[in-house]
Amino acid sequence: MSRTSSGPEWSGDMLTKPEMVEAFSTQLRGVLKSQAQFVADVREEAEAMWKANRPEGYSSFEAWWRHRWVVGPFREIQEHLEDAAKLTFDLEARYRKGRHEIPASKQAAALEKKQAKQAPQVAAGPVAVPPKPVEAPTAGAGGGRDFLELVNRGRSA
């Protein structure tokens, strides 16, 4: 399908930013509201014309029924356009939530989980096992002990 407008061609990545979706929703809402107003004006004129030029030979019920049958679709179209304009708020909110808020919260939770794994575990309360006593080094006997040896011995014991 070819486009005859001189505007930019549609691309899905145009709606990657919340500002773009907000602008799109606002513009779409404006178009839908103007179309709903146009249909309301046509409906108003059709109702006025029908009331002013009621066909002769119809009973009052038949005239009411034909009036409703002719004007009813205008009312339905107008209601659908107004409902569609209201849905643009949902479009904007769902986009913002689905593309930005939920992924940001998931990313923050993943980062928090990753940091929790990297941080040393500190136990609080009486559940912690007290450390085992380490032998006091004797001065001069066996030379100096290395810190890493002590840590490794504590882990293996």
pLDDT tens digit string along 54-100? 778 878 788 788 878 878 888 999 999 999 999 999 988 898 888 88
Per the prediction, the chain carries an average pLDDT of 77
Q: Taking the C-alpha atoms of 49, 51, 57 and 58 in order, what is their torsion angle to the nearest 10 degrees? A: 120
Are the C-beta atoms of 91 and 27 separated by less than 8 Å?
no
42 or 66: which leads in pLDDT = 42
The pTM score is 0.56
Residue 25 CB neighbours (<10 A): 20
Alpha carbon of residue 72 to chain centroid = 35
